[in-house]
């Protein structure tokens, strides 16, 4: 039976829309509304945030609040690493997706000699770098930090020395770079990304499973093919961004996109993933209750969280 620890990351400095830092509490409120005592059962650690930076001027236009992001990376990677080494299974509830690079770093720091795979369930590729970003928002960059990629082939911005130094520090957190090989990442329901990200996906032959493919083949077949593809990996991390869900139900997130997964499709698929012995960490991110109605997004996220953890505990 897996010992589960919840790590709360109420950070939103990487997002372009405000409110994702409230997502963790929205999920807890959803649990209360369902009269569930889920959150009583597990030890919880809350990571100190840098959200105060939201009230300060932006110093790096192509990597907004990167200094705060680097502080978050250091705290989260340390927490995740210590959690894993103490034989706990980390379940992360995060504000925005920028800190997922820190989760990956922590897993790699705990298993430096092991091969790590990533299942990235997200409408977006999050493979931008400060050299290519159209927005400067760090939640579009976590996978680029994990694979230690600058993507200079597609460079559109020149960076100042400070930003360059901090970006390099992000990639090298834990003194390991890259944390993950690009070919060991599987994208699910990816459908909204820029040509610079597409360049990397094609360059490295990264695996993309579309929403239609999930629908056509079903969760059982998809999970089987994903684990076959990642069979060389010793450990696998699952990151679930709620914007992977269809825009008709994912209103409570900063970047909803049409043609996404239905709630049950996502729930069934993640439950299938959680049955596999190589899964070492699960993260839910980008719930933004300020954009939502009647806390629907958080309720969906809680249903997925609860079922996933139940499956984990049974396996």
pLDDT band at residue 100 under the 50/70/90 scheme: very high
Residues whose CB falls within 8 Å of the CB of residue 84, separated by 6 or more in sequence, listed in order: 90, 106, 107, 110, 111, 280, 281
pLDDT > 70? residue 310 = yes
The residues that bridge with 238 in the sheet, in sequence order, are 119, 282
Helix axes of 100-110 and 66-85: crossing angle, nearest 10 degrees: 40
pLDDT at 23: 98
Q: What is the pTM assigned to this prediction?
A: 0.98
Q: CA 209 to CA 223: how far, in whole Å?
A: 11
pLDDT band at residue 315 under the 50/70/90 scheme: confident
pLDDT > 70? residue 301 = yes
CB 222 within 8 A of CB 269: yes
pLDDT in tens, 36-76: 999 999 999 999 999 999 999 999 999 999 999 999 999 99
What percent of the chain has a predicted confidence (pLDDT) above 90?
A: 98
Residues of 187-198 as b/e, b for ≥16 C-beta within 10 angstroms? bbbbbbbbebbe
Count of beta carbons in the 10 Å neighbourhood of residue 16:
15
Count of beta carbons in the 10 Å neighbourhood of residue 1:
7
pLDDT at 1: 56
Residue 256, both tokens = 């909803």
What is the side-by-side order of every strand in the sheet holding 44-46?
44-46, 4-9, 89-94, 279-285, 235-241, 116-121, 185-188, 207-209
Q: CA 94 to CA 303: how far, in whole Å?
A: 16
SS3 4: strand
pLDDT > 80? residue 2 = no
Q: CA 46 to CA 306: how far, in whole Å?
A: 19
């Amino acid at each position: 039976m897996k010992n589960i620890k919840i790590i709360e990351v109420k950070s939103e400095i990487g997002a372009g829309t405000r409110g994702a830092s409230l997502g963790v509490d929205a999920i807890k409120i959803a649990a209360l509304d369902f009269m569930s005592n889920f959150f009583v059962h597990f030890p919880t650690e809350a990571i100190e945030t840098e959200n105060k930076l939201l009230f300060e001027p932006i110093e790096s236009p192509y990597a907004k609040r990167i200094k705060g992001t680097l502080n978050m990376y250091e705290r989260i990677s340390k927490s995740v690493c210590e959690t894993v080494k103490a034989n706990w299974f980390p379940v992360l509830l995060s504000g925005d997706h920028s800190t997922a690079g820190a989760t990956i770093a922590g897993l790699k720091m705990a298993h430096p000699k092991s091969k790590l795979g990533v299942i990235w369930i997200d409408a977006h590729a999050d493979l931008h770098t400060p050299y290519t970003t159209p927005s400067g928002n760090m939640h579009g960059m976590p996978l680029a930090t994990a694979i230690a990629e600058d993507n200079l082939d597609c460079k559109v911005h020149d960076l100042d020395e400070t930003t360059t130094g901090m970006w390099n520090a992000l990639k090298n957190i834990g003194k390991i770079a890259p944390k993950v090989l690009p070919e060991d990442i599987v994208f699910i329901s990816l459908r909204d990304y820029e040509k610079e990200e597409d360049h990397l996906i094609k360059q490295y032959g990264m695996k993309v499973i579309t929403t239609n493919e999930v629908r056509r083949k079903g969760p059982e077949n998809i999970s089987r093919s994903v684990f076959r593809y990642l069979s060389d990996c010793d450990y696998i991390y699952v990151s679930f961004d709620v914007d992977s869900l269809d825009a008709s139900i994912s209103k409570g997130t900063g970047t909803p996109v049409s043609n996404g997964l239905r709630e049950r499709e996502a729930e069934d698929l993640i439950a299938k993933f959680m049955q596999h012995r190589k899964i070492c960490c699960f993260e839910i991110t980008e719930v933004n209750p300020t954009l939502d109605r009647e806390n629907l997004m958080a309720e969906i996220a809680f249903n997925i969280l609860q079922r996933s953890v139940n499956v984990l505990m049974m396996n």
